[in-house]
Amino acid sequence: MTLADWWPLWLALVLGGFAVPEALAIRDKVPGNTLSERIRAWLRTDTPGGGASWLAVWTVLAGILVWLLGHIANWWP
């Protein structure tokens, strides 16, 4: 299989996992329903003392970015 054969699966994953639920949540206008609001609640970053959670989130995201750039540049798998 080539990369071109996988684009329908990626499109279905993006639409099913993000675009459709997010669009429905925005349309409903119920506070706390969007994906970003749910993630903030799960990580408890929307509460007092949530700074440690934000630090953890940014650390993980920075690690993923470093790995991705290294992976793209073929520095490591």
Instruction: Kindly report, residue by residue over 11-64, the tens digit of the pLDDT.
Output: 888 888 888 888 888 888 888 888 878 777 777 776 666 666 778 878 888 999
C-alpha distances in angstroms, 57 versus 12, 62, 64, 67, 69?
26, 9, 11, 15, 18
Q: Is residue 73 domain-shared with residue 53, that is, in the same domain?
A: yes
The domain tally of the chain equals 2
Instruction: Kindly report, residue by residue over 6-21, the tens digit of the pLDDT.
Output: 888 888 888 888 888 8
Q: Is residue 5 domain-shared with residue 37, that is, in the same domain?
A: yes
What is d(CA 35, CA 24) in angstroms, rounded to the nearest whole number?
A: 10
Q: Is residue 9 domain-shared with residue 37, that is, in the same domain?
A: yes
What is d(CA 4, CA 17) in angstroms, rounded to the nearest whole number?
A: 21
pTM of the model: 0.47
Q: Is residue 56 domain-shared with residue 37, that is, in the same domain?
A: no
Contact predicate 22/34, CB 8 Å: yes
Please state whether 43 falls in left (phi above 0), alpha (psi between -120 and 50) or beta: alpha
Structural domain range at position 29: 1-43
